[in-house]
Amino acid sequence: MIRRKSVILSASEGSRNGFTLMELMVYMAILGIIVIVAGRAFSDSTKFRVRTQNILKATQEAENVATLFKSDVIQMGAKSSLEVKGTGGDDQFIEAEKAAKVHWADDDASSYNLTPGAEGGADALEFKRFRYDGQGKFVSVEQVRWFVENEILKRSCKTIDGTADDDVCPSGEPTVVEIASDVKEFQVWPATPGMMAGDDDDNQKFPPCAGGNCGEEFRMVPRSGDENFMGLKVTLDQSAHKMVTLSGFSSNYLMNEDKVDEAGVLVNQVFATGNADYGNSWKSACTAENFNLEAETEYEISFEVSDGGDADKMRMFVPGRDHMAVGFRYAKDGSKPGEIDDFLFYPPADMKGYGARKMRFSVPKTIEGVCLAFTFASYSPVAANGQVVISDLTLKKLDTSNYQFSEKNFSKENKERVKAFRMKLRIARAGETGDVDIVVPTPSNGVAD
């Protein structure tokens, strides 16, 4: 007979096989908290992602507009053109250049008009520029305008001279294109000119200026009897004193031995002076007419060069071997400043090589008491027997490329000296904004340097 054993569980023992109501409530509360926290984190993450995407979209659109604005405005003004023909076949570039100015008849030689907006409003920039074909030939003068209406940035274009492209820039009513919507800010500033009107005395360093009148005439004084410097022949233009012919260069080539003379280097050097006769004393000339080069200021040496009709001998000039350079020397001893090297240039091999030579530079610190000097050294046969003609020599201070932006309106005399613009744009997208702030150089605005 099988006996059954009764098992009696206590209340405490039975509770181990389940949860009490209190425990379930605690667990559910904890789970609820976890769900809420996780949901909020997911929601915040989604909002952050959407906000970031809106900021990126607004910023990207602003940057795209800025790129278009830059490519448009940088062409402001008139550039060189080889083909602008009138009905008579004559070169009409000067007339076309005038068309790229704002109000030529009113002596405003700039190529833009800036209309500042009201307090907190948007500006409007209108400018003129040349358009060229695929071969770089002149096609037309276009008048372009960037402006804002009802928070929509727009660009209009019309052709005012030359052949119009009716699909892009017609000659009648201007084509207006919407560039961007929800524009909260569109501000434009012209760069403060590095030189203001009336600063010509300070602008031109050579030939010297006096009493508001800047000279054009100059002379050159040869250096000789000092180390290995040899004299050379300097022939002045007797009528206008705007041209000097240099000849009789020393040769470092031994014709009899058909080789370069390695024993000693003979150098020719001339110092440029104003239209005063210093005889052959370069020290007196340089001491009397030296000047300073200011730190962090852009300058340009400019002159015309030709061979005086003696091109055959100048063809023997070998770049890298023979030496023609322009630079600066201290008036006190004729030494070269260590802060700036000479600028090499080549003589013309034929009439195609005639024309301007321009060198732009700046110095890290102010250089005091220097003169403009040309240096020559010949190592090729025959080249020393040629001649070099220097004319229209100037040294000028240029508008600085370290742009400052403060005012929006300048006098018409100073408008033509503006060489850059700053544009600030803000676009809104779904409550977020994208900002861009750029500087656009406009080297062709106004008169030529």
359 and 215 inside one domain = yes
160 and 223 inside one domain = no
176 and 213 inside one domain = no
Q: What is the pLDDT of residue 235?
A: 92
Sequence-distant (6+) residues with CB within 8 A of 204 are 214, 394, 395, 396, 397
Q: What is the pLDDT of residue 404?
A: 85
Domain containing residue 419: 68-194+407-441
Q: What is the pLDDT of residue 116?
A: 92
Residue 49, domain member (yes or no): no
pTM: 0.57
3-state secondary structure the chain: CCCCCCCCCCHHHHHHHCCCHHHHHHHHHHHHHHHHHHHHHHHHHHHHHHHHHHHHHHHHHHHHHHHHHHHHHCCEECCCCCCCECCCCCECHHHHHHHCCCEHHHCECCCEEEECCCCCCCCEEEEEEEEECCCCCEEEEEEEEEEEECCEEEEEEEEEEECCECCCECCCCCEEEEEECCEEEEEEEECCCCCCCCCHHHHEEECCEECCEECCCCEEEEECCECCEECCEEEECCCCCCEEEEECCCECEECCCCEECCCCCCEEEEEEECCCCCCCCHHHHHHHCCEEECECCCEEEEEEEECCCCHHHHCCCCECCEEEEEEEEECCCCCCCCCCCCEECCCCCCHHHCEEEEEEECECCCEEEEEEEEEEEECCCCHHHCEEEEEEEEEEECCCCCCCCCCCCCCHHHHCCCCEEEEEEEEEECCEEEEEEEEEECCCCCCCC
Residue 315, domain member (yes or no): yes
Residue 86, domain member (yes or no): yes
Summarised one tens digit per residue, pLDDT across range 322-380 is 899 999 999 999 999 998 999 999 888 766 667 788 998 989 899 999 999 999 999 88
413 and 366 inside one domain = no
Residue 268, domain member (yes or no): yes
336 and 412 inside one domain = no
Sequence-distant (6+) residues with CB within 8 A of 51 are 432
Residue 20, domain member (yes or no): no
* CATH number, position 333: 2.60.120.260
Q: What is the pLDDT of residue 385?
A: 85
216 and 334 inside one domain = yes
Number of domains in the chain: 2
Q: What is the pLDDT of residue 1?
A: 47
287 and 434 inside one domain = no
125 and 244 inside one domain = no
182 and 220 inside one domain = no
Residue 60, domain member (yes or no): no
130 and 214 inside one domain = no
Q: What is the pLDDT of residue 208?
A: 87
425 and 300 inside one domain = no
The residue among 361, 378, 397 that closes a domain is: 397
Residue 309, domain member (yes or no): yes
Which residues does the chain have with pLDDT short of 50? 1-2, 4-9, 11-12, 14-15, 84-91
205 and 189 inside one domain = no
Residue 46, domain member (yes or no): no
